Amino acid sequence: MDTSRDKVQKKPVRLIAAACRGMGIGKDGKLPWHLPSEFQYFLNTITQVSKPGKMNLLVWGKLCWYSNPETMFPVANNLHVVLSKTLNTVPDHAHFLCQNFETAILLAVRPPLADLIETIWVVGGTQVYKEALKHPWCDLIYLTDVMADFDCDVFFPEFDRRLFKEQERFPGVPSKIQEENGIKYRFQVFKKETADAV
Ligand SMILES: NC(=O)c1ccc[n+]([C@@H]2O[C@H](COP(=O)([O-])OP(=O)(O)OC[C@H]3O[C@@H](n4cnc5c(N)ncnc54)[C@H](OP(=O)(O)O)[C@@H]3O)[C@@H](O)[C@H]2O)c1
């Protein structure tokens, strides 16, 4: 991929997650909280495209994929790629199965999908986030700050907050603190400004 990177259509690689104090994101294969409006914000964000007919590619770790209820699917404007080295067939409702992160990126930037895909959304879990953070096209992290403590067994990886700067305001992202089921949270966006960002 390294030598061919300049010949392909670069796409923004973006992370989206919600993390509590201590950066926990999951427990026993599920979300540790029930925040329907926060989940709706996730759906609104990943389904945004600039014009009809365009799509986004969602990259899922296997456990993360299976942790979602069937009722979530289909998701508008989205194609889904699940990462696994052990699965042999594409999971129900998904479109692609890839053995590694780089192969998933290649799907989005080469024919037949290159003209269709706008954004590559990385939706977890930990290992997939880690790889996305290192990718040169990674420009934004949408990270909801769930302002409470939860018992978690999966965590959002550490990232360089000097490289990814928190934005005071970001288009389409409410800046006020939200509250749901007695839990406060706020939407954050961290932006990387480097030559490689798309
Ligand atoms: N709060 C949030 O925003 C948020 C977001 C996402 C997930 N979560 C939570 O996080 C938990 C799931 O995340 P997780 O980190 O435990 O698991 P995960 O990343 O969803 O799944 C791990 C599995 O995915 C496959 N995989 C991951 N990265 C891969 C790669 N680069 N190449 C090939 N295969 C790869 C491997 O499957 P094989 O073993 O088959 O190879 C690996 O065992 C759940 O509790 C979920 O609710 C929370």
Does ligand 1 come within 6 angstroms of the Cβ of 88? no
Q: What is the pLDDT of residue 71?
A: 87
CA of 171 to the centre of ligand 1 (A): 29
Atom 9 in ligand 1: which residue has the minimum CA distance?
26
Beta carbon of 100 within 6 Å of any ligand 1 atom: yes
Chunked into runs of 10 residues, the chain (198 residues) has average pLDDT values of 60 98 97 97 97 97 94 93 98 97 97 96 98 97 98 98 96 97 97 75
Q: What gap in Å lies between CA 15 and CA 13, rounded to an integer?
A: 7
Q: Domain ranges in the chain?
A: 5-192
Instruction: Tell me how far the alpha carbon of residue 9 lies from the centroid of ligand 1, in angstroms.
Output: 27
The dotted CATH code for 5-192 is 3.40.430.10
Ligand 1 centre to CA of 80 (Å) is 14
Helix (H, G, I), strand (E, B) or coil at 71: helix
Q: State residue 184's pLDDT score.
A: 98
Look up residue 75 and give its two tokens.
């998701």
What pLDDT does residue 7 have?
67
> Ligand 1 centroid vs 187 CA: distance in angstroms?
22
Residues 25 and 143 sit within 8 Å (Cβ to Cβ): no
Q: Helix 126-134 vs helix 101-109: angle between axes, to the nearest 10 degrees?
A: 60
Catalytically annotated residues: 31, 38
The atom of ligand 1 lying closest to the CA of 100 is 32
What number does the ligand 1 atom closest to the CA of 60 have?
20
- Binding site membership of 25 for ligand 1 (Cβ less than 6 Å): yes
Look at strands 117-122 and 55-61 and give their pairing: parallel
Of all protein residues, whose CA lies closest to atom 44 belonging to ligand 1? 29
